[in-house]
Chains A and B, each alone.
Chain A
Amino acid sequence: ETGVTQTPRHLVMGMTNKKSLKCEQHLGHNAMYWYKQSAKKPLELMFVYSLEERVENNSVPSRFSPECPNSSHLFLHLHTLQPEDSALYLCASSQDHPSQETQYFGPGTRLLVL
């Protein structure tokens, strides 16, 4: 595997389900991010992890719970979601170093909440 991978690629869940999104980066980066992309809206940053510590939580509802067990893996745990949470969820990684902070994105998980 190369770059940034995400699983699953598609997910359909009911509002009472619990599911998790997984992201893995193979670039040797030390920072990872979760973004949400809804139709007709700019990409929205959700969470930032640097060296496995959460450094930013962008006012995201508690029904989204991130986890970063090491610098290569990032999870987004989902529970009691709402239909308006349906979106493309993108993971990205970067190196925390000047001029190396370019973010590289995974393919995304397309989430539909019924």
Chain B
Amino acid sequence: QKEVEQNSGPLSVPEGAIASLNCTYSDRGSQSFFWYRQYSGKSPELIMSIYSNGDKEDGRFTAQLNKASQYVSLLIRDSQPSDSATYLCAVIVDRGSTLGRLYFGRGTQLTVWP
């Protein structure tokens, strides 16, 4: 079983703060990494994908990948109450034989209070 680990939270930050979400994975063959946001009762929606070591920024979101340490993180700057949701880390492993097999973490619940 390939494992993706996340702190379940809840993580609570004030509006305007930086929220930091972390994820570790067990399989060194992992190549593609994704962050999804899921509001209560809704389906996951993609926030960011990252494939190479380093940082990738998109608006208020920054994904960070460190393959040597097997972790991927998501930073949310200037957090807003509308960012309150569960954030799912997902990893693809062995794309050659397991087409698009995403392994999901349990998710971290984020609450941004006004």
Report A's interface with B, CB cutoff 8 A.
31, 33, 40-43, 45, 48, 50, 55-56, 88, 90, 94, 96, 98-99, 101-108, 110
Contact in complex: A33, B43 (CB < 8 Å): no
Total residues of chain B contacting the partner, CB 8 A: 25
Contacts A102-B46, A107-B42 given; indicate if A42 touches B100 (C-beta within 8 A): no
As a 0/1 sequence over residues 85 to 113 of chain B, the CB contacts with chain A under 8 angstroms (1 = contact) are 00010001001001111111111000000
Name the residue on A nearest B48 (C-beta): A102
With both beta carbons as reference points, the residue of chain A lying nearest to B42 in the complex is identified as: A107
Instruction: Kindly list 17 other residue pairs between chains A and B, CB separation below 8 angstroms, not including A42-B105, A101-B92.
Output: A33-B100, A42-B103, A45-B101, A45-B102, A56-B98, A56-B101, A90-B43, A90-B44, A94-B100, A96-B99, A99-B32, A99-B51, A103-B100, A105-B45, A106-B43, A108-B42, A110-B41
Complex CA gap A43/B102 in Å reads 9
